[in-house]
Amino acid sequence: MLGLDAVPDPADSSGIMPNTPNKKKPGPKDANQLAKSIVDRVTGLDEPEPADQPEESAAVKRGRLGGAKGGVSRARKLTAAQRSAIAKKAAAARWKRV
């Protein structure tokens, strides 16, 4: 059990805010998953956080750059009628989902 000295004093006027995250992680929606996650946290079997994403490789950077250039060059090559037809098809697909 924690003693009273572990509880912060609300009257403390040191002006230092505690380091707490602003957002909570979303928990499991299923009651069984929630129960398992609670047991894992209590017993220390909680899985560690995944490591940060590795830096992008040169191939990924080149592919993204090519994709960014590709759309612009494709738009230059299309006629106004072709762009209009593509836009109409895209709008129809969006409205179909509604």
What's the CA gap between 36 and 47, in Å, rounded? 12
With CA atoms as reference, report the closest residue to 26 among 34, 15, 36, 18.
34
Span 19-75, pLDDT tens digits = 666 666 676 778 898 888 888 888 877 666 666 666 667 777 777 777 777 778 888
Q: What is the DSSP letter of 2?
A: -
What pLDDT, on the 0 to 100 scale, is given for residue 10? 60
pLDDT 10s digits, 71-90: 788 888 999 999 999 999 99
Q: 46, 40 in Cβ contact below 8 A?
A: yes
Q: Where are the domains of the chain?
A: 60-97
> What is the predicted pLDDT for the residue at 21?
62
Give the span between the Cα atoms of 92 and 27, in whole angstroms: 37
pLDDT exceeds 60 at position 3:
no
pLDDT at 4: 56
